[in-house]
């Protein structure tokens, strides 16, 4: 008789998301966070930034760690969707190895946008089979989405985020004062992810966006109403993630706007930012919901009018029914063979569907194209 063993264990997961403002002020100790709520175990840090952060804040970051007498290595990367790859991950790992980062007591700090944080998170997960890292988002999209979840990923062979892991940070530190230097386009990009949460689970958040979203854009999120909106969005996102952090359940409300989006983001010319691709996806999804009598046309108009007010696209010339249906098929494989397509029911709730058809997509795109003819100039309907 052969022997057989069964191993069952659980991995406790705890990470912290907290606000701290004016992070690079030497009097602010937030960047010294080590997860121990005590004095630093090690006065050494690797800090990875993207080249945009280096230009704007590099000198202040250096002065910060010098002030605190921290031995540090500052690594600046030029990152984009085009080089969001394992080659860039290995570049970070080489730096971690050269600095001889300790396995537990020297968290790596990633300061930048979502691409940078994804790359550093994956590198931290692979190095020594996992070392702690801290995310400091410098974009609105990072604050409300990319920094606060558990996923890391890079692109592979023309596929968005095809290689990745679940590896939560030790902490995500949210500093909205860093958003003041962003372009309007980057603010709009982040508002798209707030809109996602509003449409699928929070009517009041949508109403706040209707009232103050344009002010968020014009003030770079420095208006008084911006923080309550951001906090409500973060809370909504974390509520959905906490109960399903490892995506054991593949029907996820936070996947709204992320069905066509991966294909659009990689293939669109001119390029779409992630939030812009999510916006186009949501615009199509809202029209699909209308075609199924899940929302009224007045609700469609409210969503579209808001998107226009914060300069989010409703369509892109690449949006042919053929490409969108192929994108749906690709996402269906990622969702283990079922579409699991979230559609809004009214504004503030959603249901999942598995039977979206090519003809429905064609009709939806045609309807939006009639509303946004300039965005549909190259579509073949």
Active site residues: 151
> Shortest CA distance to 135 belongs to which of 171, 107, 94, 168?
171
Asked if residues 239 and 231 have their Cβ atoms less than 8 Å apart, the reply is no
Tokens coding 28? 């602010």
Residues β-bridged to residue 351: 343
Phi-psi region of 62 (alpha: psi -120 to 50; beta: other; left: phi over 0): alpha
> Shortest CA distance to 185 belongs to which of 266, 275, 83, 278?
275
Helices (H) and strands (E) in the chain, counts: 12, 10
Phi-psi region of 166 (alpha: psi -120 to 50; beta: other; left: phi over 0): beta
Calculate Rg over the CA atoms of the chain.
21
> Shortest CA distance to 134 belongs to which of 115, 120, 144?
120
> Shortest CA distance to 79 belongs to which of 121, 53, 51, 57?
51
Asked if residues 11 and 150 have their Cβ atoms less than 8 Å apart, the reply is no
Residue 70: C-alpha distances to residues 41, 62, 73 (Å)? 12, 10, 10
Tokens coding 151? 């996923």
- Rounded to whole angstroms, the Cα distance separating 157 from 333 reads 16
């Amino acid at each position: 008789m052969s022997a057989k063993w069964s191993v069952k264990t659980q991995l406790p997961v705890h990470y912290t998301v907290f606000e701290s403002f004016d992070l690079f002020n030497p009097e602010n100790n937030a960047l010294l966070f080590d997860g121990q709520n005590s004095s630093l175990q090690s006065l050494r840090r690797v800090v990875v930034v993207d080249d945009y952060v280096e230009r704007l804040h590099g000198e202040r970051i250096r002065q910060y760690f010098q002030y605190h007498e921290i031995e540090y290595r500052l690594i600046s990367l030029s990152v984009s969707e085009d080089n969001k790859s394992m080659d860039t991950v290995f570049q970070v790992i080489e730096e971690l190895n050269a600095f001889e980062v300790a396995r537990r007591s020297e968290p790596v700090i990633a300061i930048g946008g979502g691409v940078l944080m994804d790359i550093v998170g994956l590198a931290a997960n692979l190095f020594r089979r996992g070392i702690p890292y801290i995310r400091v988002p410098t974009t609105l999209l990072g604050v409300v989405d990319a920094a606060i979840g558990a996923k890391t990923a890079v692109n592979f062979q023309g596929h968005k985020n095809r290689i990745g892991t679940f590896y939560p940070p030790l902490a995500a530190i949210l500093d909205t004062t860093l958003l003041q230097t962003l372009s309007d386009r980057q603010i709009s990009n982040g508002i798209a992810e707030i809109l996602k949460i509003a449409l699928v689970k929070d009517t009041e958040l949508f109403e706040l966006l209707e009232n103050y979203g344009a002010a968020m854009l014009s003030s770079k999120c420095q208006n008084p109403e911006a923080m309550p909106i951001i906090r409500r969005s973060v809370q909504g996102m974390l509520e959905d993630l906490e109960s399903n952090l490892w995506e054991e359940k593949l029907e996820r409300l936070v996947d709204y706007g992320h069905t066509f989006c991966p294909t659009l983001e990689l293939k669109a010319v001119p390029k779409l930012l992630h939030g812009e691709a999510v916006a186009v996806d949501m615009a199509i999804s809202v029209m699909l919901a209308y075609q199924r009598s899940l929302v009224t046309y007045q609700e469609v108009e409210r969503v579209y009018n808001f998107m226009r007010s914060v300069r989010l696209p409703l369509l892109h010339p690449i949006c042919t029914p053929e490409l969108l249906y192929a994108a749906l098929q690709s996402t269906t494989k990622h969702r283990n063979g079922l579409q699991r397509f979230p559609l809004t029911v009214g504004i503030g709730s959603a249901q999942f569907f598995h039977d979206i058809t090519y003809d429905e997509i064609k009709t939806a795109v045609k309807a939006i194209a009639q509303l946004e003819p300039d965005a549909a100039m190259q579509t073949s309907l």
